[in-house]
Amino acid sequence: MNRKSLFIAATLLIAGLAGQAAQAHQWGCWIQADRNVRIRNASGGSAASAAINDWNGMTILNIGAVSSGEETYVFNANSGATGWGGLARITNYSGCTILRATAQVNTYYYSSTSNSARGVHCQEIGHTFGLDHSNDGGCMGGGYWYSIANAYRPVSHNVTDIGNMYANRLTTDPAQHEEQGNSLRIHAYWVNNPRTLRETSRLATEIVTAKVTGVAEGDAIVNIQEDGYVSSIPTQRVSFDVTRRRKGSLGVKESFVLFQNGNDENRFDEDPSYKVGHSYVLFLTEREDGTYMVVSPQGRYEVTKKGLTPAAKEGFAAELRGASLQDVFSDVAGALEQ
């Protein structure tokens, strides 16, 4: 057996010891067609190369570098003040099978050669294999539970997840193209990932309850690579009327416009569409163009009769599901006084 075959056998043994019923941290139902994944590092540089080499060397995936016909396209681009520092996007698929995906670092926030950039590339490339976040000390949990700058490589848990997901995916098989059960095709690494309500409150310059009065298409975020690839990410502008203010003044305005990444056809994970006529608690910062954006998914909650509904699926924000607006604002007041 060659080195790769030996490693595959060892990895599958580890996965078996973990229990055949163990569930991988999979992003929805997404998965590559088989273990052979063609990757093109278009402009990700050394940080992306290091991340690709880690995934290739540590997992049962056979990752080949190509100049065309890739399943994962990796690049750096300055996309501006979007709130996200990295993005995984599935651009072509059949059922649940990923036919082509992209992994980007937003150099507006990160130096292209930093450990943080390597960590973000590691996480976004991992998403293009179908992995979700996991609190295990490696890059797939970086930013959410600990610093991405210190956790910029895969770890054994990620190796096991890949082993569980790809153990039976040896060759391209049309029968493996399942029904697509998760329409979310964009996974962002958010620059701010506050771990407490106090931290979220301090990151925000404005904390308000506001009602949606309208939603309009915004200018797309367009990045063009030297090889001609065009990344175009739609955005929306959401208009709000303020009904209650807990922090800030919004320039003494009673209304404002929110910048949101994506649209109804290209929705970001943890950033669902806003609904006209519905009210939200929002933790905001102002952008250079005068619009606002939430500090992170942990900074938006829909107000419902059953309590608050958080956008975030993990962490302290998810635990606030069903909390009353009065209790949360009381906790915010305490956080701001500390």
Q: How do residues 224-242 score in pLDDT, each as one tens digit?
A: 999 999 999 999 999 999 9
Question: How many Å apart are CA 88 and CA 127, to the nearest integer?
Answer: 6
Q: How do residues 87-140 score in pLDDT, each as one tens digit?
A: 999 999 999 999 999 999 999 999 999 999 999 999 999 999 999 999 999 999
Q: pLDDT class for 172, splitting at 50, 70, 90? A: low
The residue count of the chain comes to 338
Per-residue CA distances from 160 to 136, 168, 172 (Å): 12, 14, 21
Q: Is residue 236 a contact partner of residue 218, using CB atoms and an 8 Å limit?
A: yes
Q: Is 284 left (phi over 0), alpha (psi -120 to 50) or beta?
A: beta
Question: How many Å apart are CA 1 and CA 13, to the nearest integer?
Answer: 16
Percent of the chain with pLDDT over 90: 80
Is the pLDDT at 43 greater than 90? The verdict is: yes
Is the pLDDT at 182 greater than 90? The verdict is: no
Per-residue CA distances from 233 to 126, 144, 187 (Å): 20, 23, 12
Q: How much is the mean pLDDT over the chain?
A: 89
pLDDT on residue 5: 42
> What pTM did the predictor assign?
0.87
Is the pLDDT at 202 greater than 50? The verdict is: yes
pLDDT on residue 199: 95
The domains located in the chain, with CATH, are: 3-190 (3.40.390.10), 197-337 (2.40.50.120)
Q: pLDDT class for 169, splitting at 50, 70, 90? A: confident
Burial (Cβ within 10 Å: 0-12, 13-18, ≥19) of residue 272:
middle
pLDDT on residue 243: 94
* Between 57 and 249, the higher pLDDT residue: 57
pLDDT on residue 261: 97
Q: pLDDT class for 168, splitting at 50, 70, 90? A: confident
Percent of the chain with pLDDT over 70: 89
Q: How far is CA 262 from the centre of its chain?
A: 12
CA-CA-CA-CA torsion sign (280, 293, 267, 22): negative
Pairing of strands 72-77, 36-41: parallel
Q: At what angle do helices 115-128 and 45-58 cross, to 10 degrees?
A: 50
Cα atoms in the Cβ-side hemisphere of radius 13 Å centred on 246: 25
- Facing residues of 50 across strands? none
- Extended strands (E) in the chain: 31-32, 36-41, 62-65, 72-77, 84-94, 97-106, 186-190, 206-217, 221-224, 230-233, 235-247, 255-261, 279-286, 292-294, 300-304, 307-310
pLDDT on residue 155: 96
From the CB of residue 40, how many other CB atoms can be counted at a distance below 10 Å? Answer: 22
pLDDT on residue 178: 54
Question: How many Å apart are CA 233 and CA 226, to the nearest integer?
Answer: 18
Q: Encode burial over 199-217: b for 16+ CB neighbours within 10 A, e otherwise.
A: bbbbbbebbbbbbbeebee
Q: How do residues 232-285 score in pLDDT, each as one tens digit?
A: 999 999 999 999 998 887 776 899 999 999 999 999 989 999 999 999 999 999
Is the pLDDT at 159 greater than 50? The verdict is: yes
Cβ neighbors of 60 (< 8 A, separation 6 or more) are 7, 8, 11, 12, 35, 162, 163, 166, 167
